[in-house]
Structure 1
Amino acid sequence: MIQQIYITDYLSDAAAQPTDMIQSLVEQCPIFFGAQWQVNSLSPLKSLWQRLGASGDATSAVLCARMPLPVAPPAFCLLPVHLGLRRDTFSLQSIVPLAADVYAVLSERLKNHFLQEFTIHEDPSQRYWWVVPVREINAQTQWPQYCLYQQAMHWQPQGPDASVIRQWTNEIQMLLHEAAYSPAVTNWPETLNSLWFASVGHIPAWPAMPLTVSGQGDIFSGLQASRLTAAQSIPMSTMFADQKMTDGVWVADQWQAVNWAEVSRALQTGRISALRVVIPFAERSIEIGYKKQFRWQFWRKPYTLQTLLQQLETTLAAAR
């Protein structure tokens, strides 16, 4: 029995526009209209790390674990972002996907400009880079998902070398401005205006627990590479069919990767009697909780899409 599904949205592609995601979920899984929906103060990644018993943020370390390490372990993951600028401050709005030619141009310019400061290693996803400083940099920076829509004062680099990160970021601003007008780039993203340094910590010491974790995507691959003993490559249909599996977790990077029609069938046929789904919602997350109802519980009026979205938006506004 699969009991929990986590949509990590680790690159925050869905966090800013959850309406399409929610509409698709309830279309493919109408039984969710009868579930309980609530806004959680934790982001999807923090909810996942909490469930797996990791202390602190494991995102960068888990993603890095799936990569062949360079001569020295990377200290930072560097991500392209859009900062919303206001008169007195600015905030992180999104992580920006890059076309192949844009990624290639930026990779080359970063390597050349920062040759004396750090080395750059490309990631096969072409969504970010790994940074290995030539000297030890004692600075702590957060993963972007934890900082969405918060004013800059809440997520500035910390530590003795925080000023180094700020200096690198300032120099990157100028590089981006120059690269935007390069003849080698034909489709520069209008929203790209900065690069974000996220610290790469140590792989957590995963606690032993009676849990089966499966899924697909970069986060799950990283969990396997980081020696999470609970991580097993099991198809979702197999997890549904295993009635002895009392505590299962399915991990996916994107909501589109999950077979929600299969989830719906499993709920309707009783193969799953209880399910918890964690999906992104702005800087927080939504928890969908479903339990097989007894006859006397059917008095509760199910949601419509409109009432559901209104309730979630109202709850999010109140939480802010």
Structure 2
Amino acid sequence: MHIQLLIPGLLWPAATLLGPASGLALDGLATLLGRGRRQVREFEPYDRQLARLFGLDGAELPLGTLRRLGEADAPPARPGSHWLCADPVNLSFAREHLLLYAFPDGELTLDEAAPLVAALNEVFADLGRFEACSPTRWYLQLDKPARVTLYPVDDVIGRPVKHFLPEGDDARLWQRTMNEAQIVLYNHAASRAREAAGQRAVNSIWLWGAGELAHAPLAPAKAVQATDPLSLGLARAAGVPAGAPDIADALRSDSLVVLDTLRKPAQQLDLEGWRDGLQAIEHDWFAPLAAASGDGRLKTLRLCAPSDRGTLDVEVRSADRWKFWRKPHAFDALLKSIAPPPLDLPGTPPPTHSPTDR
């Protein structure tokens, strides 16, 4: 049995706490870390790593189209249409820099999103059609592909937006579109009502995910287990069965398992939510996988955890269970051992896609 386990957000962001996992009982994870071969690779955006597991690579990945494909109960797409992610965000000034912040799950409701999306459709009817598949996942449906490089929202969260402006043939069009959308949303009664109630306003959208599929994704395993729409969209495009994460099913068939519950808490520095999520993964996944590896049921486990520190890779093979000299390695000790990257000053572009990708 072979399992590939992808966990974005497992590594707490580098520039904050030194011991975010201290005091947590993570025996299963410690066993896997000690028993396996581990390395920390250089930073690479999570979406790039996920797409490459499905055989997709290149500068312009159609992440908007793929994520929309993975949405549950979404309205059917028009044949030949193209999609951009158009996620609602809050822009605010910190000193002289305009920073972008996403909304965590539960902070917005569909009742709040609906009038904002309707207002965008009134203004941009000639450009395409906006829709909200969830309170925090919005889309723009286009009739033709956008000739532009747009940066994923995860790359921009908490950072100056001036470093991530649209590039390419249609850059001016999309920059103007985002500027006009800011005006529409900032002045909307729903955003004003949120501000009056002491909540963050939805005062902009972030467009990203432009691109076209050069070829169909390839199935990375016999089954994919995930709940996030991008992973599900990739699986559906590849024609591979997909369902919710389930350890029993994963131990019966070679699987790619994407556990996405730590990604937003890590991005938003929600330490309590992150610790609660980590304990749940320990109980539901790390402990059973350590046991399955120990008794030979699991032939190979590859754990991959993308983060701003880099990407943690751990490979555990069934033969490793006989290497008694490999002792458990505490997760908190691992976090402390990973050297933090150089401090990003506000005026310095943060690490993201390499210049050759532009």
| TM-score category (smaller protein) | 0.7 to 0.9
Amino acid at match of 1:99: L
The separation in 1 between residues aligned to 2:159 and 2:93, in whole angstroms, is 12
Deviation at 1:131, TM superposition (A): 1.2
SS at match of 1:303: coil
In structure 1, the gaps of 5 or more residues are none
How far apart are residue 157 of structure 1 and its match? Answer: 0.7
For 1:249 and 1:136, how far apart are their aligned partners in 2?
A: 30
Separation of aligned partners in 2, 1:173 and 1:3: 43
Aligned match of 2:44 in 18, 23, 42? 42
- Quote the residue 1:269 is aligned against: 295
Are 1:79 and 2:70 an aligned pair? Answer: no
Q: 1:162 to 1:60 in 2, by over 3 A?
A: same
Residue in 2 that maps onto 1:60: 64
TM-score normalised by length of structure 2: 0.69
- When structure 1 is superposed on structure 2, of 160-169 and 21-30 the one drifting more is 21-30
**2:313 pairs with 266, 287, 296, which one?**
287
Tell me if structure 1 keeps the 8 A contact 2:150–2:165: yes
Report the equivalent of 1:164: 173
How high is the TM-score relative to the length of structure 1? 0.75
2:208, 2:328 → 1: CA distance?
42
Q: CA deviation at 1:199?
A: 3.3
Q: Pick which of 248-257 and 262-271 moved more.
A: 248-257
Pair 1:249 & 2:256 matched: yes
Q: CA deviation at 1:198?
A: 0.8
State the SS of the aligned residue for 1:277. strand
Q: Are residue 31 (structure 1) and residue 31 (structure 2) matched?
A: yes
Is structure 2 residue 233 aligned with structure 1 residue 222? Answer: yes
**Any residues of structure 2 matched to 1:307-318 within 5 Å, and which?**
307-312=333-338, 314-317=339-342
Equivalent residue letter for 1:131: L
Unaligned runs of 5+ in 2: 263-276, 345-350, 352-358
| Alignment correspondent of 2:5 | 5
Contact 1:64-1:222 at 8 Å conserved across structures: yes
- Number of positions where the alignment pairs a residue of Structure 1 with one of Structure 2: 309
Aligned partners of 1:74 and 1:130 also within 8 Å: no
Of residues 248, 251, 255, the one that matches 1:237 is: 248
In structure 2, the CA distance between the partners of 1:134 and 1:204, relative to structure 1 (3 Å rule), is: closer
Q: Tell me: CA distance 1:142–1:110, structure 2 relative to 1, closer, same or farther (3 Å).
A: same
